[in-house]
Amino acid sequence: MKSATLTATLWEQQHRQDLKDMAEAIGDKDTYLAEEILNTLAPRPEGENVQETKSSEHRKSGRQTKVVDPLTGRIDNPHGVAVVEGDGTRKWYRANMLHNAYGPAIIKPNGKLSYYHFGTHYKSAAALDAVTESAKRHNENSKHCRNTTP
């Protein structure tokens, strides 16, 4: 499937059973199974720009893995998950802002999803899709318009 046709609503529909299974695994205290399901939905980032640090938040245990752009120092991964929290939560970032135009920007191990478009939170996949479609239309229109003012 082309990424141009993928929407957050479609992503949610395609992964509904995985999210349900993950939530049930957490409810059954089977964190290993929940992590395995989460790894299929949102694999951990890999590569030379991946950094691992001890989580600075007291309520979170473990380590945080993040992808940092070496030129800007910002959290940024245009190809997938940019941050994995100590509790397993996956986050997508672009230019230091939570962002995923074609799915959730945050997936928690209990199956809870959050949607963001360049740092702005949306309550549902449908709301994110509406913003993404509007941004696409605006981008297409700006390509076809010329400024003829001298």
pLDDT of residue 149: 58
pLDDT in tens, 2-27: 444 789 999 999 999 999 999 999 99
**1-10, 26-35, 76-85, 130-139: least confidently modelled range:** 1-10
With respect to residue 87, please indicate whether it lies within any of the assigned structural domains.
yes
Summarised one tens digit per residue, pLDDT across range 112-135 is 999 999 999 999 999 999 999 988
Please indicate, yes or no, if residue 49 is contained in any of the structural domains.
Answer: yes
Closest CA to 111 of 60, 41, 43: 41
- Residues in the chain, overall count: 150
- The boundaries of the domain holding residue 90 are 8-144
Give a yes or no: residue 76 inside a domain.
yes
Residue 149 lies in a domain: no
Total domains in the chain come to 1
Alpha-carbon distances of 62 from 95, 96, 141, rounded to whole Å: 25, 22, 46
Q: Is residue 1 part of a domain?
A: no
Residue with tokens 């590569």: 47
